[in-house]
Amino acid sequence: MTTKTERTARAHSSADIEPAARGRKRDHSRDADILDAALDVLAEVGAAGITMDLVAERAGAGKATIYRRWTSKAELVIDAVAHIERMQVDIEHLPDTGTLRGDLLALFRPEAMEASTRRLKIMSALASLLSADQALAEAGSAVIVKPWADAHFALMQRAVTRGEVSARADITTLSQVVPSMAAYRTLVQRKPFTLEFLLSMIDGVIMPALRICGARQPKKSDRSQT
């Protein structure tokens, strides 16, 4: 599932033994170019319209070059999806504002979500593929939603150890609420993911469920951010 998909997979003979390595070397940075081109095409024509010819043309590559690196269109698309830049949630450097609510809000990066229409369109295109292909569903879910849910879980767990939240809270389920609903909203409803939406999730669902008081009267300053 991780990138390579059997690189050097042309089943041939000699190449495996690396015969003194003369001549040109395969340029691995071209992989990224081709994957980017695939994502571009995906965003432009949708999942149904993507063809290898389009990808090759967009990448300025020959089809043979693509097939030298991936065995099929399906594998290329799967790799391309896995190649989407991770949701900028660095699990190592989570925000630490002192309160869970502040931490959760600090995860919100307007530019990360709405900056590129491209990613949104890719996700839209993905929505249809997700139902047709189990491997893609897992790849898409792993890239788009899981890191986010993991971040929420980590933040909630920290709030528990801090004593801010009851240890009996079902943070396993609660950590999936915002990512799931955001994915649903984006992929299916195709409405934008806004701060207002995030606030209604946090203040209407998460914080009340965690029995943290004060969430019910969000500060004016928070709302005016919208």
Residues 34-53 touching DNA, rule: CB under 7 A, are: 49-53
**Comparison of 162 and 190: residue with beta carbon closer to a second copy:** 190
Contact assessment for residue 126 and residue 91, using Cβ atoms and an 8 Å cutoff: no
- Which 55-114 residues touch a second copy, going by CB under 8 A? none
Residue of 119, 30, 137 lying closest to 78 (CA atoms): 137
Cβ 202 vs Cβ 215: under 8 Å: yes
Q: Which does 143 bind (CB under 5 to 8 A by kind): a second copy, DNA, none?
A: none
**Amino acid letter, residue 93:** H
Considering the rule CB under 7 A, would residue 19 count as an interface residue with DNA?
Answer: yes
Nearer to a second copy, 29 or 131 (CB): 131
Which residue stretch of 17-25, 57-65, 85-93, 199-207 sits at the interface with a second copy (rule: CB under 8 A)?
199-207
Is 160 an interacting residue with respect to a second copy (CB under 8 A)?
Answer: no
Assess 130 for contact with a second copy (CB under 8 A): yes
Asked whether position 123 contacts a second copy by CB under 8 A, the answer is yes
- Tell me the C-alpha distance between 115 and 127, whole Å: 20
- Going through 59-178 in order, the beta strands assigned E by DSSP cover none
Q: Binding residues for DNA, per CB under 7 A?
A: 8, 14-15, 19-27, 30, 49-53, 56-57, 59-65, 67-69, 72-74
